[in-house]
Chain A
């Protein structure tokens, strides 16, 4: 697919917008539909589009498989880490009210961090699953 100029230019134009939209979904999840799961999938979809158009080898130069693997693990760590921090601050596991002076602000912080963890995991998982399927014989190259 590398020689199709319309697809290449179209994809290059679209990918930044897809990624910005993913961030919007992530941080607007408190006020409208959205959240870590959706944002992670959309972010990964932008990347997968890149991989489909320019080949998996090019995508692996941008984000190697081991980094995607690291992302997938780091998200779970962030999620559980928030739980451990709330334990250390004297609350229950995953009780975000102790994260700030005001329980409501604490909840805000907690939800933000937890959604970040979900985003990271979903992104890493989707990317590494795509790599392992496509890298098997080089889909799209």
Chain B
């Protein structure tokens, strides 16, 4: 192993709001092996070079969605991005774009959590069922309609990728909209009318200009751009047809 070890330069964005006037870059020399991820690189920095470096991580296997960072300017999960792919060049690691920085690579995700709550990300049963009536049954076709959208791990890479969220943080954004869609098109769910109010609102889908970068950076192959744009059609139909439907849409 020792003979495979090389040294790569990792440039990290540092920011300690109580002490620093502005974020700045700091370069570390990090020994690495072929199997080391960028996350392991910053962990090496914290363990051996500078214990004050702050970043979020947990599972190390692209399941938890904690370790999202801008790596060479691209929103990525640092646990599944490998140092060997950048060597011998320097790799640049920064906090996720478009979010306020709490410290170093840790962003403030409060706005996202509020959005997540606002979409009511749980099944609102179409009809009340007693235990005796048994489970909800669903055909494979009904599962297919929403399954890919249920893979979201809330890593917020799509928000760091979205230029419209960058320009206006009030925009509901790709991730929350993909999850909203996941519940709206679930055959067991009856909460669509409530959620459509958000879709059709001024913070809703129409901020999107169909850039599609959100879907490109998604580590779980969810297609949030598709969810957003399907809901433009839904919101437009709701807008024009609401006068025809007896219980139609939002106010």
A associates with B: no
Which residues in A have some Cβ–Cβ distance to B below 8 Å?
none
